[in-house]
Chain A
């Protein structure tokens, strides 16, 4: 379901349009049903074996079965009202096969018997055989050993689905009240919770049971200047994370103080919304930026999105190869650039790594959705392009003997395909704090929080906004700016990266709903970085008179 359908379904007004993309799937259920145990793992194994055997009998040379129970809870409020509480649960089985050298996939909702899963397997084989007629190259998978019966659980401390709805409602209405008392004219706040209980079995001999959790508290506060009729918004500085409800229990260690407080492994929603309600009024009277070249100091709460769009996406091998040409696009980071071993993606202090094991990240799992054990690997080393993100049927193309383990499907009913791993900028090796970084900047802008974003279909030209913009003059922050967006070219931008703060400042940001594919699927991914400085970036003024 698309964001707009969701907004319509949940009866949200335009305020919701300012919120991020919100896909939703499954049927709505009562919150208490989240506490029901899913199907027992022994039953899942029987259901999976029935599908594996049925596919093999029909001539499949490879089969994988995903039995998934997906829980979502969204609590949606504005000012002093709960607008909606959406609880959904979706359960079913997806079977993917290779037959006659071609992929086939079929899914069945509410599969409870071995006959159900066997039937899905047979349909998948029939589809593979039908489509094989249109294929000229058979699919070739990187070899993968089976892991037997194994399991993985996200290392959460407090399952958010076990927290009573009333406690969540109280939290949101409490922060809304604080926003209104601190001068906001309007406030929308939401809590997104996801739990994926997924079981994977394959003809390679793996039976993998996994439990994945995600949480994202968000808000938007709005202030209106009654004299001019102008309005400004300030959105949350929280990050979506792969944690439990403990993300909302902060301790002082998780806070990064400075001109505005930012958050690491714990988020103080009350403190952030009070700051936001004051800052949104400052934004109304802030100086409109003068367009030109500036040195940018980018906080991790902002930089994650630039990494996501200009590094994470172009280094997805399926884009590089053309599989996404009709929708998300292809990539400037073509195979010849990688083969040259000499393509300067960024300056020599720039190192990007992909990591599907990072604790607390959105992308962390034990095994991916085709049974590959997850790992960490380099994408850009000392500024040079060294690798991509690949799955089993692509590994051979880049001379790898195994998949990187970044295959994912957003539901039991969707076909798994290559999705972005957590892609992060390694912290600087020399000790450097944010204050020390700002001290050296003569004419610059310090940007906190993510805003408007847009990038071309090959990931060259991009434009980003933000939440808070502070003008830096001769090493000091001198005030707030507004109407700021910067435009650059990916290679130029990362080559202008002059300094990166050390690992004391390293934090994760992320995307809860990253869209890709046709029909579109959503995935969640984190991006870590420390604050980084980019020299001489083109800044435009976005104010218009109508």
Chain B
């Protein structure tokens, strides 16, 4: 049997799993994926590898006693064994007061928009070819390239004893590259993520990193302080993430997140950022398709999380929704921040004095109450004066809250797909111009 099952194959296998069940409730999750990668540094390939993963997880419940077992062999005897094992574990388990039982059959709106044959068909040769094109350019310019190319294809499926069945297949490719000058005084970065390998142009991407590397040589020091900044989408994404990961209703209700309000309330309904900020999720979004169902089988619908600066929704687990008597809402499978119409060039042109930031690095939360984050600029930081890039500047450490940042919004560019350099997740993020962004010290790092 192949690793990537079709919907029919997955359904047949899961039906067989269900037929072995003797528990009150049974649910099975099945996945298979294949990953391949090449890593290079100092203009040489350093490592490459491939990993095949397939797994079946079975959860059995007797009342609120729940047991989970997994297996990676799918013959009949193994399937029966894993079901029996999960049942044994359920009988031994303490009651889980937060177990809310299984969902019945669900309707899902979109199917596997993220799976592209071209990406699924990548082989070691095509991978090497994409990397070679990038390496060749860097070598010719006497620049030093270090990069990573990783592709994956896979499927996941679930079925439960109440008749729910879900299936999703996707593919993807992420590419990232750091180009440095031979003397180590300049460094540039680029990253790209797609479901469709045809959209990945390693030559064009490499040229951007090369241009930033050469352009960032001999950076001058500016005094730290508050600056107008233009954050390229790669830089903005890692700060937005800290908002996205905090949008859990339970923590907000419990009074221990930014989304908490005095007196046990939450910030749902409050305007927290500039009215030009709208953030939503939509599994059918063409440039960034997401899975149409969450891990527990709930459908992923289009959801607006922040609408014109106002918090509209927080994620409610099924348990917490039951406690609070509201509709459950799973964490989304993609996140899109709406953009404006400006190009990056127009944003630079409109700036009297500011800093253009390519990438932010080593982002860590400092205060969960305000979502204050610290981190540094990296791989291409430039001074803008009178609408033009003047010269490269030394990297800064920042201490800033993304909430304050989105309140100090000056301008939004067109939203585009980016890869988070912290979590590797893909998002739609616009470039943004922000006033009074807080840089608190200088770094000598290149």
Which residues does A use to contact B, with CB under 8 Å? 2, 4, 8-9, 11, 13-15, 17-18, 27-30, 81-83, 102-103, 105-107, 109-110, 127, 130-131, 134-137, 169, 185-186, 222, 224, 226, 228-231, 233, 321-327, 329-330, 332, 334, 413, 415, 417, 452-461, 463, 465, 483, 485, 487, 489, 518-519, 538, 540, 542-544, 546
Contacts and interface: CB of A to CB of B under 8 A. Distances in A.
Contact of A222 (B96, B256, B374, B424): B256
Nearest to A169: B94
Nearest to A137: B44
Interface stretch (B64-72, B214-222, B411-419): B64-72
Given A321-B42, A325-B180, A13 B251 contact: yes
Contacts of A332: 444-445
A82 B45 contact: no
B91 to A, nearest CB: 12
Interface in B56-86: 57, 68-72, 85
B141 interface: no
Contact of A454 (B374, B404, B423): B374
Which of A83, A224, A543, A546 has the largest number of chain B CB atoms within 10 A?
Answer: A546
Contact of B366 (A135, A231, A465): A465
Interface stretch (B7-15, B225-233, B278-286, B356-364): B356-364
Interface residues of B, number: 91
A321 B69 CA distance: 44
A413 B71 CA distance: 18
B48 interface: yes
**What are the 8 closest A-B residue pairs judged by CB atoms, nearest first?**
A229-B262, A14-B251, A461-B443, A325-B146, A458-B445, A456-B445, A326-B146, A518-B148
B104 interface: no
Contacts of A222: 256
A326 B374 contact: no
Contacts of B57: 28
A544 B72 contact: no
B263 A229 contact: yes
Given A4-B423, A463-B397, A519-B37, A224 B68 contact: no
18 contacts: A29-B69, A106-B49, A131-B128, A134-B128, A229-B255, A229-B262, A323-B41, A325-B180, A332-B444, A332-B445, A415-B47, A456-B397, A456-B443, A458-B446, A461-B441, A461-B444, A487-B397, A519-B35
A13 B124 contact: no
B132 interface: yes
A169 B94 CA distance: 10
Interface in B321-366: 331, 361-366
A326 B72 contact: no
B378 A322 contact: no
B147 A326 contact: yes
Contact of A2 (B37, B41, B424): B424
Contacts of A103: 46-47
Contacts of A456: 361-362, 376, 378, 395, 397, 443, 445
A127 B48 contact: yes
Contacts of B444: 332, 458, 460-461, 489
Interface in B361-387: 361-370, 372, 374-376, 378
A106 B51 CA distance: 9
A8 to B, nearest CB: 6
B44 A540 contact: no
A417 B39 CA distance: 13
B409 interface: no
A45 to B, nearest CB: 26
A321 B42 CA distance: 8
B403 interface: yes
B41 A326 contact: yes
A135 B255 contact: no
B72 A542 contact: no
Contacts of A540: 399, 440
A460 B361 CA distance: 14
B226 to A, nearest CB: 13
Contacts of A487: 397, 440-441
Nearest to B295: A8
Contacts of B366: 452, 463, 465, 485, 542
Given A4-B245, A185-B255, A457 B48 contact: no
A487 B439 CA distance: 12
B256 A30 contact: no
Contact of A452 (B45, B47, B374, B395): B374
B262 A14 contact: no
A322 B180 contact: yes
B201 interface: no
Given A13-B320, A127-B48, A544-B370, 7 more contacts: A105-B49, A229-B261, A324-B41, A326-B146, A454-B375, A519-B37, A538-B441
B185 to A, nearest CB: 12
Contacts of A131: 45, 48, 128
Which of A136, A417, A452 has the largest number of chain B CB atoms within 10 A?
Answer: A452
A211 B404 CA distance: 50
Which of A17, A136, A332 has the largest number of chain B CB atoms within 10 A?
Answer: A17
B41 A322 contact: yes
A452 B365 CA distance: 6
Interface string B393-408: 0010101010110000
B241 to A, nearest CB: 10
Contact of A136 (B44, B180, B317): B44
Interface in B212-254: 245-246, 248, 250-251, 254
A172 to B, nearest CB: 12
Contact of B44 (A130, A135, A455): A135
A293 B440 CA distance: 15
A134 B138 CA distance: 14
A323 B85 CA distance: 45
Contacts of A230: 369
B227 to A, nearest CB: 17
Interface string B251-278: 1001111001111000000000000000
A29 B415 CA distance: 44
Contacts of A323: 41-42, 46, 146
B161 interface: no
Interface in B113-151: 124, 128, 131-132, 135, 144, 146-148, 150
A518 B39 contact: yes
A546 B401 contact: yes
A321 to B, nearest CB: 7
A461 B362 CA distance: 11
Contacts of A329: 361, 445
Nearest to B177: A326
A454 B41 contact: no
Contact of B374 (A14, A415, A463): A463
Contacts of B397: 454, 456, 461, 463, 487
B313 interface: no
B6 interface: no
